[in-house]
Amino acid sequence: MNGFLSIRNLTVRLKNGSPILRSVSLDVAAGQVHGLVGESGAGKSMIGKAVLGTLPRALSVTGGEIWLDGTNLMSLSPTERRRRIGATAALIPQDPLTALNPSKRIGPQITRRLVDILGWSRQDAQDRALELLGEVHIPDPARVMRNYPHELSGGMRQRILIASAFAAEPRLIIADEPTTALDVTVQKQILRLIADMQTRHGTALLFVTHDLGVVSKVCDTLSVLYAGKVVEDARMHRFFMRPIHPYSAALLAATPTYTDPTGSLTPVSQAVIDGVEAEVAQHDARRAQ
């Protein structure tokens, strides 16, 4: 095992048997940022959900291991697993609109983790929440604590979710496309904020995105996911210098921010996609035997 989070041969299937994740392995080292890229529907979110134990009901883990801080989560009882995950990991979700409970004020939604998981007193939790809201640059934190989610903008909500994710000092944070639901001007600030917070708190971060430009800025290592399968697993500079897998190369060529921002986009060609499809099919055939 060489990561704080180590996923080994994780397979997730729909209840009817069709695979969503095919024997996925990846590592997130302690205090490092690991990017997880891939197109929409590749299964990026499902990796995060499998780790956190929040897979949709239609899906279940049918094989593999998830090691978190030296313990295989799959070998724990559901209660023990939930306790362990709660104490170690947190999520920055994709959609700040549905990630806060609309009928509760912001304050209790942040302090809940501290009171529930760390057993802090309400007053201590309150103080810590105020401090955190300041840290994510929220003006007038005391007032915001009393607001309902719908009274705040998307960017504010995402800052609150970041504060809330870091609140209990988790050692792993999974950020699932934390900026896609925001408008472009806010995206940059939020990205910087997450990177800053990660550095300051020394948290391991699994950063899910489909934007290679973003990955190049914040990640140390990355995995490329295609159709539920990891097709490339690399350190950043090696990946950008010399992608091994044809899909990665094509993806890179299709990213304007990294190569030539003024140049025209090269969409991932059908030939490459066909190639990957064939490979995935081969893989399935091997497993079926």
Min dist. Cβ of residue 157 to Mg ion (A): 18
Hey, how many other C-beta atoms are within 10 angstroms of the C-beta on 121? 11
Min dist. Cβ of residue 219 to Mg ion (A): 17
Q: Which listed option, Mg ion, ligand ATP, another protein, none, makes contact with residue 20 (CB within 5 to 8 Å by class)?
A: ligand ATP
Q: Which residues bind to ligand ATP, rule: CB under 6 A?
A: 14, 20, 38, 40-46, 56, 58, 177, 210
**SS3 for 205?**
strand
Nearer to another protein among residue 101 and residue 257 (C-beta): 101
Name the nearest CA neighbour of 247 among 284, 212, 206, 215.
Answer: 212
Q: Measuring CA to CA, how many Å separate 60 from each of 39, 54, 93, 229?
A: 22, 10, 20, 16
Residue count (the chain):
289
Question: What is the b/e burial string over 90-118, where b = at least 16 CB atoms within 10 angstroms of the residue's CB?
Answer: bbbbbebeebbeeeebbbebbbbbbbebe
Q: Which listed option, Mg ion, ligand ATP, another protein, none, makes contact with residue 41 (CB within 5 to 8 Å by class)?
A: ligand ATP
Dump the DSSP string for 35-64.
EEE--TTSSHHHHHHHHHT---TTEEEEEE
Min dist. Cβ of residue 240 to another protein (A): 32
Q: Which listed option, Mg ion, ligand ATP, another protein, none, makes contact with residue 42 (CB within 5 to 8 Å by class)?
A: ligand ATP
Among 9, 75, 101, 257, binds another protein (CB under 8 A): 101
For residues 131-150, which are near another protein according to CB under 8 A? 148, 150
HSE-up of 162 (CA within 13 Å, CB side)?
Answer: 28
Query: Rounded to an integer, what distance in angstroms lies between the CA atom of residue 61 and that of residue 53?
Result: 10
Nearer to another protein among residue 19 and residue 93 (C-beta): 93
Is position 156 an interface residue for another protein (rule: CB under 8 A)?
no
HSE-up of 83 (CA within 13 Å, CB side)?
Answer: 7
Q: Which residue's C-beta sits nearest to Mg ion?
A: 45
For residues 28-47, which are near Mg ion according to CB under 5 A? 45
**SS3 for 219?**
coil
Nearer to Mg ion among residue 95 and residue 124 (C-beta): 95
Min dist. Cβ of residue 262 to ligand ATP (A): 27
Among 8, 65, 74, 112, binds another protein (CB under 8 A): 112
Q: Measuring CA to CA, how many Å separate 122 from each of 32, 108, 132, 170, 192?
A: 32, 9, 15, 19, 30
Residues of this chain that interact with another protein (CB under 8 A) are: 49, 52-54, 56-57, 82-83, 85-87, 89-91, 93-95, 97-104, 109, 112-113, 116-117, 148, 150-151
Residues of this chain that interact with Mg ion (CB under 5 A) are: 45
